[in-house]
Amino acid sequence: MAEVLSNVQVAPGVFRLAVKGHDGGRMGQFYMLRAWDRYPLLSRPISIFDISRDVIEFLYIVAGEGTEMFSRLETGDPISLEGPFGNGFEKPTGKTAFIGGGIGIAPFYYALREIKNADVYLGFSRDSYMVDEFRKATTGNVYVDIGGIILNSVDFNAYDTIYTCGPHPMLHAVQRKQIESGSKAKIYVSLENRMACGIGACLVCSVKCKDGRKKACADGPVFLAEEVVF
């Protein structure tokens, strides 16, 4: 059991959770979090937002019963962390961009600890959050779009490596933009699929890929954009 240090609302329904004690993790990996005994049955997969010394942070949006229970956690409460799981981001080559939609911005903050000069594109449907933190974390440019389509701001030919995370329609659009632009960049999508076990045993997180079905938790959550069938 780990201990909640803080659980702060940063926008309506969006919380930044700091927990003491963790087993490390690479950029793009996730933990399975649980703050209850038996019900709801499943733990919730949440991306690593940041790690410093013995503190790990998560950014999550209240989207159901489990995350609603997380939102009621207070300093000193116990929480169970299992992980880190999944394949994180590979090291980029050349000029790099991160494109995040909504809560999909979360894994890029920790990634900027290693890749400090990436351009960052943050798209929000209504309320923005963590923008100042991203501006401080990168020496590259930060672009913000609220209520529009963040992908319209991105020149896909200006980068060698592009990482994206957000809702499936956005990731599908990334795949289309890659084809339309003829971009030679290596483009990765990080999938936020529903998960149950988190370790490749249950198939709940199945992803259709060009060479068959894969598991978001164990084979991903990061995939090359071109290999996923949306």
Stretch that binds ligand FES, among 51-59, 136-144, 181-189, 192-200 (CB under 6 A): 192-200
Task: Look at residues 58, 159, 32 and name the one whose alpha carbon lies nearest to residue 99.
Answer: 159
Least spacing, CB of residue 86 vs ligand FES, in Å: 9
Least spacing, CB of residue 28 vs ligand FES, in Å: 16
Contact 57, 20 (CB under 8 A): no
CA distance 199 to 43: 12
Q: Cα dist. 150→57, 110, 117, 118 in Å?
A: 25, 21, 19, 16
Cβ atoms within 10 A of the Cβ of 168, count?
14
Phi-psi region at 48: left, alpha or beta (left = phi > 0; alpha = psi -120 to 50): beta
Least spacing, CB of residue 30 vs ligand FES, in Å: 11
Compose the 72-101 pattern: x for residues touching ligand FES by CB under 6 A, - for all others: ------------------------------
Encoded tokens for 93: 């080559």
The residue (of 86 and 92) whose beta carbon lies closer to ligand FES is 86
Strand 55-61 to strand 14-20: parallel, antiparallel, or no bridges (unpaired)? antiparallel
Among 185, 217, 225, 228, binds ligand FES (CB under 6 A): 217
Residue where the block lists tokens 């290999």: 227
Least spacing, CB of residue 32 vs ligand FES, in Å: 9
The residue (of 83 and 140) whose beta carbon lies closer to ligand FES is 83
CA distance 175 to 122: 18
Residue 209 interacts with ligand FES (CB under 6 A): yes or no:
no
Among 51, 55, 69, 196, binds ligand FES (CB under 6 A): 196
Residue 222 interacts with ligand FES (CB under 6 A): yes or no:
no
The residue (of 219 and 226) whose beta carbon lies closer to ligand FES is 219
Residues found near ligand FES in the complex (CB under 6 A): 195-198, 200-205, 215-217
